Structure 1
Amino acid sequence: MEDQTMSGGEINMHEEMRRAFALLSGKWKLEILWLLNQRLHRFGELRKAIPGITQHMLTAQLRELEADGLVSRTVFAEVPPRVEYAITPKARGLGPTMAALTAWWNEHGRSIPPKRSPPRGRQARGG
């Protein structure tokens, strides 16, 4: 890859890419965007679709994505309240990136061993 770090008032692509990576960093953000790229989801649907995510973490990640303009949140005045999350046109611009990642995974995914999830909760000590 070509080093595009520049000085003298020109665009510093290294810094710009760091900003782009920061928008998408977080354990769950890409998975949330992937799901919302398929269709809109309610909060509970997202929580069920992402094993291991806590309610607190899902809320935090959705808030960050919304603040960055990648996810929209619609609240319906119903009892009980209904909230739907959708991907924004800005985030849809990531479509080619998602397609490239899918193609890469289809080619190389089988060569990557699955990670074992650590056990959740407290573990009994042997003794």
Structure 2
Amino acid sequence: MATGERWRGAAREADNALCMVVSTGMGGGLVIDGRVHSGPTGNAGHIGHIGVEMNEDPCVCGARGCVEQAAGGPAITRTALSLGWRPRGARRRPPGLWPHRPGRAARRRSPPSTGRPVRSPRA
């Protein structure tokens, strides 16, 4: 993924970048000094299984608190559902059941840079 971002994507003009993808899991890759860095095992920059919240349920990898458990696609869906979001076509919620506005609450808890590419300036 980092190779594609370096070649044609958001990292094409960056000397250093952490490229990330969020799907059912979370993946990543590194560009360091203008070159894709794969590391000794090919997993450099893979952030999905970095531990961040040790009180969470076990991850599919067996560890606790992985980034993927908190911020992967299924986790985002679980959070949205717990805040009252329902897919289109789902039954409407009974009035007063969820008095808060889940979309706004989720945005307040999200980092301000969500969805924006972050890169270092070219030297």
TM-score after normalising by structure 2: 0.23
Which one has the largest radius of gyration? 1
Higher helix share: 1
Structure with greater contact order relative to length (CA < 8 Å, sep ≥ 6): 2
